[in-house]
Amino acid sequence: MLVQVDHLMPHGFLFIFLFSSIISTNIIHACNQTDRSSLLSFILSLSSPPLNWTSLDCCHWEGISCNHDGWVTDVDLPSKGLKGGNFPLSLGNLTHLRYLNLSHNSLYGSLDQSTFFSSLNNLEILDLSYNLLSGELPDSLPSRNMIRMVDLSSNHFYGVIPSSFFQEARNLTSFSVSNNTFSGSIPSTICLHSSPLIKLLDFSLNKFSGNISPGLGQCLQLQVFHAGYNNLSGLLPEDIYNATTLEQIALPANSLYGAMSDRIVNLTILTILDLNSNGFSGMLPANIGKLSNLKLMLLYANKLEGLLPSSLMNCTKLIELSLRFNNFEGDISAINFSRFSQLSKLDLMNNNFTGMLPTSLYSCKSLKAIRLSINHLKGQIQPEILSLKYLSFLSLGFNSLTNVTGAMKILMRCESLVFLSLTSSFVGEDMPSDEGIVEFDGFQKLRLLDLSHCEFSGQIPVWLSKLKKLEFLNLFHNRITGSIPSWLGTLPRLFYLDLSFNQISGEFPKELCRLPMLASEQTAAQLDRGYLELPMFASIPLILAKDTNYNFLSYAHALQYNYLSHLAPSIFLYNNSISGSIPTEIGRLQLLHVLYLGVNNFSGSIPDQISNLKNLEILDVSVNHFSGKLPASLASLNFLKSFNVSYNNLEGPIPRSTQLQSFNASVFEGNPKLCGAPLPNECRTINGVGGDNKNHQDEDQNGHQIPWFYISVLLGFIIGFWGVFGPLMVKKTWRYACFQALGKVQDRLITVWMTRMQRRLRN
């Protein structure tokens, strides 16, 4: 090779080539054989597909780098599908290892038993994040004064972080253990005792508890302090305000309390202040405007109160300001929002703000989401709102706004509007009629329209038929008269329709059974899965979750949704005056999860086709005039979690299935001619007259049926068990995981919110 080159290349090139080949020759023969065998035994200990580690020179192996003496310095193998349990043992022999990145693999086992940590005397960077490692931490970090960065996040580590852990780790700048199960107190004295140079500390998503002890004020370079989603309690230690290098403080979802100190304004380069879902109280510091670099101010779900300080307007770099679920008060129109030129999300939901809808908001040209619901605001929506070109989420419910017709004529020209909730605002006005709206192609991006609890009179307006993107329509609790228009069935995206608590008459239009999102899997697959700019809060009886086991009328928790697509496809017509029978075409709505037809004037029999709704979880036809038998095919609805046919004129036996018999007898009551489990009255043959005779007949029949009966029950049990409990079990695990993360926040929010909403609704 060299000889060939010698002949072909001019001398300048030859020199360069020789020079570089001398270096590479050096490396080739320098791969340290001890390190090579350590690496090989590491890889042999894994059960994953082998890496391409075949050549002699381990320094050229994938993910491996060496120093000039052939010692392995870097092992960089993130996301390589590595699986295995005792990796640390052999890697511990790589005495010159400087950089170890095994993140995003499936390594399990624990670190505490091994000598791995104590022998890596040169390790500077350790990234084991996103694995399945567990156990407690060893007594101290590897390589003491060399270590600079440690990331153990998203594993299954537990236990306390030993006080000796950071001993002599003087050059540690970044330490993350988020998303594990660590407990005990967070090592907030880290700068005092060992690592004064720390820049990033992330303890979030663990079970740390107790107070945050003073100490962080000694951190001369601390930029990021995250400890959200733990059980931390008590006050914020005063000395944290000495850490003037702080750029991010995120402590959401803990039990911290007390007032926010005025000294927080010392942290002038702070960009993120996230204290949401705690128990902070008192007023915002009057000088909060000195935090002029703040981009995110997330103080929602606390007990903060008082006026918003006027200096807040000096936080001109704010992108998101979320103060929902607090007790702030004062005239909102006194706040000049016009300086918030970067503001993208403003959430003031559930406070006690008064005054007119602030017109200065309309000059925040970056706004994408505004939520002012559950306050005491007055006034009308002004045409200037149209200058908010990116406005996609607008929620103004539970206020005392007026002129809904004017509002709709303006808002339909908001080109980006996706989410519009005016629930319990504009109360008692007329339903915005078609005049001036129906000819216009407005609301072309609207996916959610909530006009519930408005007590609007009038009919369902035709302009709704033009909302081609509409997925969610809530007209719950108005004074709507007239019938359900057949064009509703043509709305191409609609999958959630609530017309409950109105005075709607006429029949169930069979055209409604064509709703493409509920009838066609192909259409449903095109559902917009984009997230909402702000989470939506839904509670019964407004909304029902696809993934809850709660009964529509009995669960008292609202849920938080970041995606509309997570709502259960539903039709609610509860409490109207709808008559006639259920069209047999109902069987087309195969993707429907919830059908609520209770408290109407329906008559006729319950059509057999209803059993085509294989996804149905909730079926309520109570308090109607349905007659005839329950279709036997109902037994095949495997997902049914809630069922109510009470107070009709149904007759005959209740079909046998694991579901139907599992419901409380009360859901069948008020149908004197229904019989069989779970009702106490047994089924008797219709023609039987004399007691003896009948008993005899029954015995005969039973005698015949016994084998079949047992077989079908057995089969029903097996199929039913996995059909019903299988999915439930999956869902439960999933829900459990979600609730672990969200539950704490939600429970608190929802209790406050529900109480307030109930109070408002009563008034």
Ligand X SMILES: *[C@@H]1O[C@H](CO)[C@@H](O)[C@H](O)[C@H]1NC(C)=O
Cβ neighbours of residue 49 under 8 Å, at least 6 residues apart? 81
For 178, the token pair is: 């988020």
Alpha carbons 535 and 658: distance in angstroms, whole number: 37
Interface residue with ligand X among 73, 140, 176, 622 (CB under 6 A) is 622
With respect to ligand X, which residue has the nearer C-beta, 188 or 622? 622
For the bound state, the minimum distance from the C-beta of residue 706 to ligand X, rounded and expressed in Å, comes to 32
Residues 479, 456 contacting (CB under 8 angstroms)? yes
Structure tokens at 44: 């042999």
Report the DSSP beta bridge partners of residue 673: 651
Q: Does 171 bind ligand X (CB under 6 A)?
A: yes
Near ligand X by CB under 6 A: residue from 66, 599, 724, 745: 599
Residue closer to ligand X, measured from CB, 435 or 747: 435
Which residues face 255 on adjacent strands?
233
Among 55, 387, 562, 758, binds ligand X (CB under 6 A): 55
User: Does 78 engage in binding with ligand X (CB under 6 A)?
Assistant: yes
Distances from the Cα of 622 to the Cα of 118, 236, 573, 627, 669, angstroms: 70, 54, 12, 12, 10
Binding mask 644-683 for ligand X (x = CB under 6 A): x-xx----------------x-xx----------------
Classify each residue of 706-732 as buried b or exposed e, where b means 16 or more C-beta atoms within 10 Å of its C-beta.
eeeeeeeeeebeeebeebbeeeeeeee
Taking the complex as a whole, the smallest distance from the CB of residue 236 to ligand X amounts, in Å, to 23
Rule CB under 6 A: is residue 763 a binding residue for ligand X?
no
Nearest approach in angstroms of CB 157 to ligand X is 17
Q: Please report, as residue ranges, which positions from 209 to 228 form the binding site for ligand X (by CB under 6 A).
A: none
Quick one: tokens of 605? Answer: 């029999």
Backbone angles phi, psi at 422, to 5 degrees: -120, 25
Q: How far apart are CA 95 and CA 435, in angstroms?
A: 81
Tokens of 257: 């309390």
Neighbour-count burial of 755, counting CB atoms closer than 10 A to its CB (0-12 exposed, 13-18 middle, 19+ buried) = exposed
Which residue of 32, 73, 93, 103 would you call a contact of ligand X, by CB under 6 A? Answer: 103
Give, as ranges, the residues between 112 and 141 that touch ligand X (CB under 6 A).
125, 127
Q: Which is nearer to ligand X, 102 or 591 (CB)?
A: 102
- Closest approach of Cβ 60 to ligand X, in Å? 6
Q: Does 178 bind ligand X (CB under 6 A)?
A: no
Q: Which one of the spans 10-18, 142-150, 207-215, 652-660 is the region binding ligand X (CB under 6 A)?
A: 142-150
Q: What is the CA radius of gyration of the chain?
A: 33
Return the number of the residue (122 or 233) whose C-beta is nearest ligand X.
122
**Of 277-285, 350-358, 405-413, 505-513: span binding ligand X (CB under 6 A):** 405-413
> Does 568 interact with ligand X (rule: CB under 6 A)?
no
Residues 299-338 touching ligand X, rule: CB under 6 A, are 310-311, 314
Distance separating alpha carbons of residues 598 and 665, to the nearest angstrom: 17
Reported for 48-57, long-range contacts at CB under 8 A and 24+ positions apart, including other chains, are 48/80, 48/81, 48/82, 48/83, 48/84, 48/105, 48/106, 49/81, 51/77, 51/80, 56/31, 57/27, 57/28, 57/29, 57/31
Residue nearer to ligand X on the CB measure, 264 or 301: 264
Site string for ligand X, 275-294 (x = CB under 6 A): --------------x-----
Name which of 455 and 511 has its Cβ closer to ligand X.
455
We find the least distance from the C-beta atom of residue 625 to ligand X, in angstroms, to be 14
Nearest approach, Cβ of residue 685 and ligand X (Å): 29
Tell me whether residue 62 or residue 699 sits nearer to ligand X (CB atom): 62
Q: Which is nearer to ligand X, 527 or 667 (CB)?
A: 667
CB of 402 to ligand X, least distance (A): 7
As measured in angstroms, the least distance from the Cβ of 718 to ligand X is 27
Helix (H) or strand (E) holding 541: none
Q: Could you please report the per-residue DSSP string of 50-89? A: PPS--SS-GGGSTTEEE-TTS-EEEEE-TTS--EES-HHH
CB of 126 to ligand X, least distance (A): 8
DSSP H/E element including 739? helix 726-762
Amino acid letter, residue 199? K
Nearer to ligand X, 338 or 697 (CB): 338
406 contacts ligand X (rule: CB under 6 A): yes
| CA 53/CA 558 separation, integer angstroms | 54
Q: Which helix (H) or strand (E) holds 4?
A: helix 2-8
Smallest separation (angstroms) from ligand X to the CB of 527: 29
The least distance separating ligand X from the CB of residue 53, rounded to whole angstroms, comes to 8
Contact 343, 725 (CB under 8 A): no
CB 325 → ligand X: shortest distance, Å?
26
Site size for ligand X (CB under 6 A)? 36
Decide if residue 196 touches ligand X (CB under 6 A).
no
> What's the token pair of residue 53?
């580690």
CB of 216 to ligand X, least distance (A): 20
Share in percent of the chain as helix, strand, coil (round to 5): 30, 20, 50
433 is a contact residue toward ligand X (CB under 6 A): no
Give the nearer residue to ligand X in terms of CB position, either 221 or 523. 221
3-class SS at 349? coil
Strands 601-604 and 479-480: unpaired
Residues 6+ apart with CB under 8 A from 95: 71, 119, 120, 121, 122
CB of 410 to ligand X, least distance (A): 6
Nearer of residues 51 and 160 to ligand X, judged by Cβ: 51
Smaller CB distance to ligand X: residue 407 or 591?
Answer: 407
The residue whose two tokens read 């008797």 is: 684
- The smaller minimum CB distance to ligand X, of residues 60 and 546, is found at 60
Q: How far is the CB of 669 from ligand X (least distance, A)?
A: 8
Find the binder of ligand X among 118, 145, 266, 548 (CB under 6 A): 145
Residues 230-259 that bind ligand X (CB under 6 A): none
DSSP state of 725: I
Enumerate residues 359-388 that contact ligand X by CB under 6 A: 380, 383
Residue nearest to ligand X (CB): 406
Q: Which is nearer to ligand X, 335 or 470 (CB)?
A: 335
Q: How far is it, in rounded angstroms, from Cα 387 to Cα 394?
A: 14
Token pair in block for residue 728 = 């439930």
User: Are the C-beta atoms of 280 and 304 separated by less than 8 Å?
Assistant: yes
Maximum Cα interatomic distance, the chain, rounded to a whole number of Å: 120
623 near ligand X (CB under 6 A): yes
In the DSSP assignment, the letter for residue 374 is: S
- Show contacts with ligand X in window 685-714 (CB under 6 A): none
Instruction: Indicate whether 146 belongs to the interface with ligand X (CB under 6 A).
Output: yes
* Interacting residues toward ligand X by CB under 6 A: 52, 55, 60, 78, 101, 103, 125, 127, 145-146, 149, 151, 171, 289, 310-311, 314, 380, 383, 403, 406, 409-410, 501, 553, 575, 598-599, 622-623, 644, 646-647, 664, 666-667
